Amino acid sequence: MSIIQIVAVSIFMAMFIAIIVLTKVHRCIPALIGAGLTVFVVFLVMMRSPATVMKVLNFGEMFHVRFWLPGHQPLASQGVNWQTIVFIFGMMVMIEGLNKVGFFRWLCLTVAKMVHYQVIPILISFMLLSAFLAMFVDSITVMLFLATVTIELAKLLKFDPIPLIMAEIFAANTGGSATMSGDPPNIIIGTNFGFSFMDFVKNTGLIAWAALILYIVIIYFMFRKSLRQERSASGDAPIQYPEAREAIGKPHLFAIQIAVFLAVIGLLVTHKETGLSVAAIGIIAALLTLISLAGHSVQLLKKVDYLTLIFFFGLFVCVGGLEMTGVLESLARFIGHVSKGNLVVVASVILWISAFASSIVDNIPFAATMCPVLAGLYRMPGMDLKTMSWALALGTDIGGNGTPIGASANVVGTAIAEREGYPVSWGRYCKYAYQAMMLVVLLCNVLLILFHT
């Protein structure tokens, strides 16, 4: 490695370690510091190339017509992935709108009532609900509402909510791997390589739902006895169950927001046919939400998680440092050399490395780092970009289940449990999560080889 490559890698690794270690500092801080060092030290001091800075910052991309209306040829870009950032912003606004009208709480309580508030059926139905919602809505939002309602029901029915919250986390991360909009790593992969929503559904969707079924079976046998014992201890005293309709403040706004949600899903499903980019769909989602909830638009915009958007920006700049200095190209050549050009080996290596890495580090920066590596591998004989992409998506999303910090959903779910008096230790979480994650990834590996190689 050259000196400039060593410096770029050192800055990136320092940022990565800071994100892992400095748990009380928002991850946007180390990402921004890393981005600043990459721009100043690597691009300006060592490379003496202001043009590289502009190429990585990539601001001009948003003023290009094909950024919004790419048709069937996505706009190729390097550096900051503005498609991802703009799309996530728009979805955040829409999700805050759904939250405002009580959609998520209404849905959770409706499902609980449908299964007559029985704990094992709640476990299974909430896993299915978590996976389904995570296909379209950020898994952080899914866990915010599912974990909160789960704890409310646990106090009412006298059962331990931790198994259910863990199961919901597993399901959210697994369901998120089924679509392009399901998890941030998928958005990054899709926007980098021009895949559509339906590309993910057709390729990772079936594998993800097979993985979810296996997760349901594993979780059922892990926790069925303890949950049944706790449930029977609740006695025959009459219980006042919460009503789903109480979550709905204004029915007409509730109906409008559901219509907006369904319209955005329709645009995502058909965006390859309509020629709209995911960034354009994100802006449409935000505008429809703000117009329909005009009296609350300022409040909705204030609730957007801007720090996470800043984190994405800093992260993409740091990854751009590795890309522009040739580090990621070298890594791609190394993986290609070790695998001897065998696609089955490459896909399996990507899947398992992604799974193990994402279980101990945030899967978003890992996915952002690996995308240029896959682009480099694709230039080698015998490599298929789609197969490698599906392996990366499944590995980063499902591998994130392994530890309490493997994905954002894990952090949110366990934090809510701890806040409500149900702390989840690393030992207890990993005891169940890691072995389940490895079995599910093994299934994904088999299905990936059968379907795509």
- CA nearest neighbour of 294 among 329, 260, 243, 342: 260
Supply the pLDDT for residue 225.
Answer: 80
| Backbone phi, psi, residue 361, to 5° | -130, 160
Supply the pLDDT for residue 234.
Answer: 46
- Rounded distance, CA 254 to CA 243, Å? 16
Answer yes or no: is pLDDT of 230 > 60. no
The 10s digit of each residue's pLDDT in 295-313 is 899 999 999 889 888 988 9
Mean pLDDT, range 32-43, rounded to an integer: 96
- Rounded distance, CA 316 to CA 329, Å? 16
- Rounded distance, CA 402 to CA 355, Å? 8
Sign (positive/negative) of CA torsion 220, 226, 228, 231? negative
Cβ-in-10-Å burial (0-12, 13-18, 19+) of 376 comes to buried
- Give the Cβ contact number of residue 244 at 10 Å: 18
Report the chain's mean pLDDT, rounded to a whole number: 89
How many Cα atoms are found within 13 Å in the side-chain-facing hemisphere of 173?
36
**Angle formed by the axes of helices 306-324 and 82-100, to 10°?**
160
Question: Structure tokens of 365?
Answer: 């920066």
The 10s digit of each residue's pLDDT in 47-87 is 999 999 999 998 988 998 888 988 766 666 678 889 888 98
Supply the pLDDT for residue 233.
Answer: 45
Q: Tell me if 430 sits within 8 A of 403, measured CB to CB.
A: yes
The 10s digit of each residue's pLDDT in 349-396 is 999 998 998 887 777 878 888 888 898 889 888 889 999 999 999 999
User: Residues of the chain with pLDDT > 90: what percent?
Assistant: 51
Coil vs helix vs strand at 69 = coil
Residue 12: in which H helix or E strand, if any? helix 3-21
What is the DSSP secondary-structure string of 30-60?
HHHHHHHHIIIIIIIIIS--HHHHHHHH-GG
238 Cβ neighbours under 8 A, 6+ residues apart: none
The 10s digit of each residue's pLDDT in 249-292 is 899 999 999 999 999 999 988 888 888 988 999 999 999 999 99
Q: Tell me if 382 sits within 8 A of 341, measured CB to CB.
A: yes
b/e sequence 212-238, b meaning 16+ C-beta within 10 Å:
bebbbebbeebbeeebeebbeeeeeee
Supply the pLDDT for residue 107.
Answer: 92
| Least confident segment among 7-16, 68-77, 142-151, 370-379 | 68-77
The pTM for the full model equals 0.84
CA-to-CA separations, 434 to 166, 218, 406, in angstroms, rounded: 12, 12, 11
Sign (positive/negative) of CA torsion 14, 15, 20, 25? positive
Supply the pLDDT for residue 232.
Answer: 44
- Rounded distance, CA 140 to CA 169, Å? 9
Supply the pLDDT for residue 238.
Answer: 66
Supply the pLDDT for residue 194.
Answer: 87
Supply the pLDDT for residue 229.
Answer: 44
- CA nearest neighbour of 46 among 37, 33, 57: 37
Question: Distance between alpha carbon 27 and the CA centroid of its chain, in Å?
Answer: 16
- CA nearest neighbour of 357 among 366, 370, 347, 346: 366
Coil vs helix vs strand at 325 = coil
User: Residues of the chain with pLDDT > 70: what percent?
Assistant: 96
Question: Structure tokens of 216?
Answer: 């349901």
| Least confident segment among 17-26, 41-50, 209-218, 390-399 | 17-26
Q: Tell me if 355 sits within 8 A of 434, measured CB to CB.
A: no
Answer yes or no: is pLDDT of 408 > 70. yes
- Residue type for 67, please? F
Degrees (nearest 5) of the Cα angle 123, 109, 408?
60
Sequence-ordered alpha helix ranges (H) in 325-453: 327-339, 343-360, 363-378, 385-399, 408-419, 426-452
Supply the pLDDT for residue 231.
Answer: 44
Sign (positive/negative) of CA torsion 58, 64, 67, 70? negative
Give the pLDDT band of residue 110 (cuts 50, 70, 90).
very high
- Rounded distance, CA 162 to CA 417, Å? 7
Answer yes or no: is pLDDT of 420 > 60. yes
Region of 74 please: left (phi>0), alpha (psi -120 to 50) or beta: beta
